Chain A
Amino acid sequence: MIAPRSFADREDLLGAAMLAPALAYVLLLVGVPFALAIVLSFSNATAGSLSFGWAGFSNYAAILADPIFRRALGNTAIVTIGSQVLVVVLATAAAQVFRAAFHGKRTARFILLLPWAVPVSLAAIAWTWIFDSTFSVINWTLKVAGLLHGWLYWLGDPGLALVAIIIVQAWRIFPFATVIVLAGLASLPQDVMEAAIVDGAGFWRRLFHVELPLLLPVVAVAVLFGVVYTATDLGVVYILTGGGPANTTQVLPTLAFQRGIQGADLGQGAAIAVFLLPFLIAVAIAMLRLARHTEVGAK
């Protein structure tokens, strides 16, 4: 007698059964709210009311005409690009440091990873103190070092507040990017690096002509994550500046929250939140194509 196939032998059924929980999770907790947000952005729904009417593109027309929205859009771009440029430079540099063997490397790596593990809200609160108008650690340090003569109102000045937000966003993504670049460095073929040394290339030439081009796919992935995390982040700006002073540091997530939840205009809030979607998709596609294009000599 040949034993009949058990459930575990039926790869078709088993596969479907094992995928089901993940699929259900994505559909219910990501897909549904996402679809709802798109629908809401075309409606005149408000919080606290069950009326729901088709509003066409009027929400989009309204926000596009709104200077605060346009400013928030610009800020989102500035913060995202600024922080990611900072992250790429710092993470590549840090990865070079962590590649070397030194005493206390494990401890240093642990400390490096901390910002990644700290809850955003907690970290942002710590940063509000660092940027505080009276107690600012940065100001006092600069002052004692004799580098600062006036006084910097970090979160009170629109320009400085954006810089502060960029710093915090970069600080938050930096550990993750460093780990990714470090993994990328470890996977580079050792003898190609040695060939570059023998071929007479100095440190900078090796870095810019061999290492970084080979690392590009990996860096692209790190940047992609960074862009998505930063452009969609609510916590940092919300806690640090609340979008102020006078709506000058609003980014799209904070503005969407303010309009949609606090201001009860769900339709407009959703339109603001959804507005970013096509841009993020475009960035993701561009990054992934870049990564594939530069993969070791591919055409």
Chain B
Amino acid sequence: MAGVEIRHLSKRFGDLYAVNDVDLAIREGEFLVLLGPSGCGKTTLLRMIAGLERPTAGEILIGGERVDDAPPRARGIAMVFQSYALYPHRTVARNISFPLEAVGLPRSVIEQKVRWAAEMFSITRYLDRYPRQLSGGERQRVALCRALVRDPKVFLLDEPLANLDAKLRNTARDELKRFQRQIKRTTVYVTHDQVEALGLGDRIAVMDGGRVRQVGTPQEVYEEPVDTFVATFVGQPPMNLLAARDPALPPGTLLGFRPEHFLPRGHFAAGEPLRTFAFAVRRVEYLGSDRYVYGTVSDDVIDDATVIAKLPATVGTTIPEGERLEFAVPQRALRYFDGTTGARRL
């Protein structure tokens, strides 16, 4: 087992820094998710760890050893691609055995390992089929199987669930997490889907513009975002940010709170310290498990800021469109950010 350490890692394509001076320590056995919008550099970072991309500068260590000059096969990694990248001309069994054949293991050992890996993902039935005869979920398992069979020190997963249909994704996520817990292997997982990131990651590294903005547990990233980027990227709908001219706060402060904390005033207990707002409701969106309420708030320190409230189905209050209602946010849920830099203010 081994952790991954990344020091001052950069990758430049022409004038563009896809990855810009990233430092990241991934612990042994940890499930780390690289989360960010497309073009943030997360995939490039993963590909540099895999050895498919050469860093412009910086160091990569796996299990304490420098690997940034080593070819992919010498790094002890296995990778699962978004498209699964199965070998279309080989059967499932021959797909899984490919990395073992490359190492030159004896045939009997290969057969035994393929069977073991296939049993792990319950795909023994498909061993003689070709990839194109399999469904998306089955292909994804074959890809995981092929990664597992090499017994790598580090798993690298590039959006492995993105090509599955929405129905399958929940079970696949659960399976993936159980699998990782079972084998306890360091895993780096790239996604742009915050639900996957929050659900799977032991820790999440949020990336934007080639830099890591924040590294932390799902709770830390969600509840204590270090800047407005993380605050608005993680969470659906994004955190509400309002410019506040509060004399108690430094000028240019942004007030932030999550839509699910913005609820009708009457919903809170009597003693709870609250910040109340006059909320002009424009439109209510019924989404089954939740209602999203769109509107504006304004008071003596806030001018007509657009906000969204997310009311769970358990909040039964009727919300008439076009009316002004009293909404509130608990003081403990308020976050403050610098309006120019976006950085968190405590």
Which residues of A pack against B, CB within 8 Å?
189, 191-192, 194-202, 205, 209-210, 213-214, 294, 296-299
Question: Contacts of B101 on A, CB cut-off 8 Å?
Answer: 205, 209
The answer to whether B102 and A191 touch across the interface, beta carbons within 8 angstroms, is no
List residues of chain B with CB under 8 Å of any chain A CB: 50-52, 71-73, 77-79, 81-83, 85-89, 98-99, 101-103, 130-133, 146, 150
Decide if A195 touches B102 in the complex (CB within 8 Å).
no
Is there an interface contact between B83 and A199, defined as CB atoms closer than 8 Å? no
Docked CA distance A198–B146 (Å)? 11
Contact check, A195 vs B132: say whether CB atoms are below 8 A apart.
no
Q: Which residue of B lies closest to A294 (CB)?
A: B89
* A194, A209, A298: the one within 8 Å of B81 (CB): A194
B131 touches A199 (CB 8 A): no
CB distance from A60 to the nearest CB of B (A): 43
Instruction: Please determine whether B103 and A198 come into contact, CB atoms closer than 8 angstroms.
Output: no
Contact B86 A192 (CB under 8 A): yes
User: Which chain B residue shows the least CB distance to A299?
Assistant: B130
**Cβ–Cβ < 8 Å partners of A297 in chain B:** 88-89, 130-133
List of B residues within 8 angstroms of A214 by Cβ: 88-89
CB pair B52 A194 closer than 8 Å: yes
Q: Residue among A199, A209, A213 with the most chain B CB within 10 A?
A: A199
- Let me know if A198 and B77 touch, CB within 8 A: yes
Chain B residues whose CB sits within 8 angstroms of the CB of A299 once the complex forms: 130
Q: Is the interface of A mostly helix, strand, loop or mixed?
A: helix
Q: What is the minimal beta-carbon distance from B141 to any residue of chain A, in angstroms?
A: 15
Report if A199-B99 is in contact (Cβ < 8 Å); known contacts: A189-B83, A294-B89. Answer: yes
Q: Which residues of A lie under 8 Å from residue B79 when comparing CB positions? A: 194-195, 198
B102 adjacent to A202 (CB under 8 Å): yes
Given contacts A195-B81, A297-B132, A297-B133, A200 and B102 within 8 Å (CB-CB)? yes
In the complex, how many angstroms separate the beta carbon of B245 from the nearest chain A beta carbon?
A: 52
Question: A191-B81, A201-B98 given as contacts; is B150 within 8 A of A296 (CB)?
Answer: no
A197 to B53, CA, bound (A): 12
**A196, A198, A199, A296 — which one has the most chain B CB atoms within 10 A of its CB?**
A198
- Cα A295 to Cα B99 in complex, Å, equals 23
Q: Are A192 and B73 in contact, with the CB atoms below 8 A?
A: no
**Are A197 and B89 in contact (CB-based, < 8 A)?**
no
Question: Whole-angstrom distance from the CB of B227 to the nearest CB of chain A?
Answer: 33
Query: Of all chain A residues, which has the CB nearest B99?
Result: A199
A129 to B66, CA, bound (A): 59
B266 shortest CB reach to chain A, Å: 55
A296 near B132 with CB under 8 A, answer yes
Interface residue from A192, A205, A298 paired with B102 (Cβ < 8 Å): A205
Q: Assuming A196-B98, A214-B88, what are 18 further A-B pairs, CB within 8 angstroms?
A: A189-B83, A191-B81, A191-B82, A194-B79, A195-B79, A195-B87, A195-B146, A196-B87, A198-B72, A199-B73, A200-B102, A201-B98, A201-B99, A202-B73, A209-B101, A296-B89, A296-B132, A297-B131
A-B CB contact pairs (8 Å), 23 listed: A191-B83, A192-B85, A192-B87, A194-B52, A195-B146, A197-B52, A197-B73, A198-B50, A198-B72, A198-B73, A198-B77, A199-B102, A199-B150, A200-B73, A201-B98, A213-B89, A214-B89, A296-B88, A296-B132, A297-B88, A297-B132, A297-B133, A299-B130
Cα separation A84 to B305 with both chains bound (whole Å): 74
Would A192 and B99 count as touching, CB distance under 8 A?
A: no
A101 vs B286: C-alpha distance in the bound complex, in angstroms?
Answer: 55
Minimum-distance CB pairs A-B, first 5: A297-B130, A200-B73, A195-B85, A296-B88, A199-B99
A194 vs B130: C-alpha distance when bound (angstroms): 20
Per the bound structure, the CA–CA distance linking A277 and B132 in Å amounts to 37
In the complex, A200→B101 CA distance in Å? 9
Whole-angstrom distance between the Cβ of B60 and the nearest chain A Cβ = 15
Most buried by A among B52, B78, B79, B87: B87
Could you tell me if A200 and B99 are in contact, using CB atoms closer than 8 angstroms? yes
Structural contact, B102 and A201, CB atoms closer than 8 A: yes
Q: Which residues of A contact B103 (CB under 8 A)?
A: 200
Shortest C-beta distance, B175 to chain A (Å), equals 21
Given the known interface contacts A189-B83, A213-B89, the answer about A198 and B78 at a Cβ–Cβ threshold of 8 Å is yes
Residue on B nearest A190 in the bound complex, by CB: B85
